[in-house]
Structure 1
């Protein structure tokens, strides 16, 4: 039977997983595969594995239980391999890399931040602060505008939105950076203009959270910051 792999930890990790079940229905029994100073937490992989809510939550609960007691390399949902021997070979082949990553993640958790700027509020701000956009908008609303003016206004607004998103996003990340050991910024989708993960040490957690609250208060109701954490450090494995 195929093997589902959850995490990699040090062999001396407490691994208190007696009350935690794995993926599948019924929940798979967790076990470990050891190679040298490393252990992988695994279970048998269900034949019909898919990202069901039940199984995604089970995967996450294993990570959180391990993270509560020490450093962990959380693997992405759905990673399977042929058998325990394949897991052992992988641990042996990349032992130095895995040990180094575990050491760098000791005492750290991930926080994930998304930010959205309320669309109508941003548009009002652009029309208020950009003379060119304001003039075109007034002429269009008065009925004296042309199609070219409408196109020009749309282009100006799009450029202003992009510029303001970039500037504010950079400012938010810069404010949080001093309290993070690492950061991972990816392209924001949909309405978001910030999509970033931060690796935060326990000693810096209070200041990181206080700074995020301060930034959110300064931005006011126009901008929404959504912070999730502490999380297993998926973005820094």
Structure 2
């Protein structure tokens, strides 16, 4: 038997764990040391198993917890050998956890993506920058780079101009939504050629409506060539410095 961890929270946070179950259908409870707590359940496996039901339960628990109060969400699979070890981790990291939890207090994470919404990105760029037209018939080593049906292989000029175009609109979007974020950072996850930028945003709960309005305003401003999507609210996974927490 070991202990499965879901999140850290402030000891005074008003979490209601009654009837809330996590992995393996086990009841949740809090382990508290000083001003911080860990939300945990018992775990019956000697080694971690990747069960779809358990992964869903883990995510479901975190969604419910973050709807009640601020948490530092933990990745699926963090287990400790005993309650005594959980208490040691809390004791050794109390100051770090308290500081992080106060920093994200009453804040949630939102994700915003801006992408080109045009039938053909190369044609769109050529219309805006006519000098790119020669990219459609560029010759390299005696070969005509035009072998993608009615679309050309995109050359260096196109690549440079597209990157420049994305930087311009990335900055414009950040100017519109940034003022409503406590923190904002650019996602480093892979994206498609049509994607301009994805921002991870830490937003005060009280500012969620005006934050969402700023996204709609951006949609109106940059229509019809761009589309926007946003997801959340989530627990602030990308804004918690979990690498500062020691488990030794």
Q: Kindly tell me: are residues 153 and 8 of structure 1, through their superposed partners in 2, closer, same or farther at Cα, counting changes over 3 Å? A: closer
Contact 2:110 2:233 in 1 (8 A): yes
Structure-1 residue corresponding to 2:184:
183
Q: Give 2:33's aligned residue.
A: 35
2:208 match: 205
The alpha-carbon distance between structure 1 residues 118 and 147, as it changes in their structure 2 partners (threshold 3 A), is farther
Secondary structure at 1:132's aligned position in 2?
helix
Normalized per residue, which structure has more helix?
Answer: 1
Q: 1:146 aligns with which of 108, 127, 139?
A: 139
Shift in CA distance, 153/234, structure 1 to aligned 2, threshold 3 Å: closer
Query: Contact 1:63/1:232 (CA < 8 Å) preserved in 2?
Result: yes
Task: Give 3-state SS (helix, strand or coil) of 1:5's partner.
Answer: strand
Q: Which among 181, 193, 196 is matched to residue 196 of structure 2?
A: 193
* More deviation, 15-24/110-119: 110-119
- For residues 106-152 of structure 1, give each alpha carbon's deviation from its aligned partner in whole angstroms, at most 9, with x where no partner exists: 21111012233246443222111223212453xx3xxxx63467499
8 Å CA contact 1:110, 1:231 repeated in 2: yes
* Contact 2:135–2:157 (8 Å) recurs in 1: no
Structure 1 pair 121–188 and aligned structure 2 pair: CA distance change class (3 A):
farther
Q: Kindly tell me: are residues 125 and 46 of structure 1, through their superposed partners in 2, closer, same or farther at Cα, counting changes over 3 Å?
A: farther
**C-alpha distance in 1 between matches for 2:167 and 2:100:** 31
Distance 1:93 1:235, change over 3 A: same
Do the aligned partners of 1:188 and 1:194 also contact (CA within 8 Å) in 2? no
Query: Residue 149 of structure 2 corresponds to which residue in structure 1?
Result: none
Q: How does 1:59-208 map to 2 (within 5 A)?
A: 59-118=58-117, 120-137=119-136, 140=137, 146-147=139-140, 150=145, 154-191=155-192, 192-208=195-211
- Say whether the 8 Å CA contact 2:118–2:124 is kept in structure 1: no
The answer to whether the Cα contact below 8 Å between 1:3 and 1:42 also exists between their aligned partners in 2 is yes
Q: TM-score, normalised by structure 2?
A: 0.82
Asked if 2 retains the 8 angstrom alpha-carbon contact of 1:183 and 1:197, the reply is yes
Shift of 1:179: 0.3
1:177 Cα deviation after fit:
0.7
Q: Is the 8 A contact 1:9 1:38 kept in 2?
A: yes
Which TM-score applies when normalising by structure 1? Answer: 0.85
